[in-house]
Chains A and B, each alone.
Chain A
Amino acid sequence: SQQGEEDPQALSIQEGENATMNCSYKTSINNLQWYRQNSGRGLVHLILIRSNEREKHSGRLRVTLDTSKKSSSLLITASRAADTASYFCATALSTDSWGKLQFGAGTQVVVTP
């Protein structure tokens, strides 16, 4: 079973708009990561946020983490057509940070010019 669940499943926006997607998980985590996957390709690591962090930025990406609600959000600001991809959250368990990452089903984002 998958630990994380993303919401929404799909998102369609225009260039320049912001895109926000959410991830909920079930068990205690060491860290939470966001990945991007272009159609039919491998995953690209975007950002990692540790369980003792609440917010992190990387370029146009902003990630928040609320461990009390077991949820995270990814915000992409000023979206571009090249941001069209599927976005996945993945969690590393607090008991096994080296081990398996558990992925959600992803949010499919389409950015139209």
Chain B
Amino acid sequence: DTGVSQDPRHKITKRGQNVTFRCDPISEHNRLYWYRQTLGQGPEFLTYFQNEAQLEKSRLLSDRFSAERPKGSFSTLEIQRTEQGDSAMYLCASSRNPGDRDFGPGTRLLVL
């Protein structure tokens, strides 16, 4: 296993379009996390899953955002009707125990 992977690595879209990102965690990790990071800031928590159950959602995750992990393996994060303020790096992480988080390389989104 080569670690957490994210696809795409970069996405440019026009305001109002929908985008979907994918995260493939490390296979034996049952916890999966999504974060958003804007320039010059630390990552901000969005949501996390234990297997297929979404256990917590941040207030940052507006109605336009939805995340799924249908089979407890990969996860998708969809943003509907994108806005310029959605431009950020979207980071996924997975975990096998409470102490660690293995982060993926991120998907950089630019909304024009």
The listed residue (B40, B45, B50) touching A101 by CB distance below 8 A is: B45
Partner of B42, one of A31, A45, A97, A106: A106
Number of A-B contacts (CB under 8 A): 67
How many Å lie between the Cα of A50 and that of B78 in the bound state? 35
> In chain A, what residue has the closest Cβ to B100?
A45
| B25 interface hit (Cβ, 8 Å) | no
Q: Is B105 an interface residue (CB 8 A)?
A: yes
A105 touches B101 (CB 8 A): no
**Which residues of the other chain, B, contact A41 by a CB distance below 8 angstroms?**
105-106
Chain B interface size, as a band, is 20 to 34
Which B residues have a C-beta under 8 Å from some C-beta of A?
4, 31, 33, 35, 40-45, 48, 50, 55-56, 58, 89, 91, 93, 95, 98-106, 108
Q: Smallest distance from the beta carbon of B5 to chain A beta carbons, Å? A: 10
Is the C-beta of A113 less than 8 angstroms from some C-beta in chain B? no
Do residues A40 and B48 form an inter-chain contact, with CB atoms below 8 A?
Answer: no
CA distance A99 to B35 in the complex (A): 12
Chain A residues lying within 8 Å of B56, measured Cβ to Cβ, are 99-100
Known A-B contacts A100-B33, A100-B45, A105-B41; A42 and B101 likewise in contact (beta carbons under 8 Å): no
- Contact of B103 with A44 in the complex, beta carbons under 8 Å: yes
Task: Report Cα–Cα, A100/B33, bound state, in Å.
Answer: 8
Minimum-distance CB pairs A-B, first 6: A103-B42, A100-B45, A97-B98, A43-B103, A42-B103, A42-B105
Q: Which residue of B lies closest to A103 (CB)?
A: B42
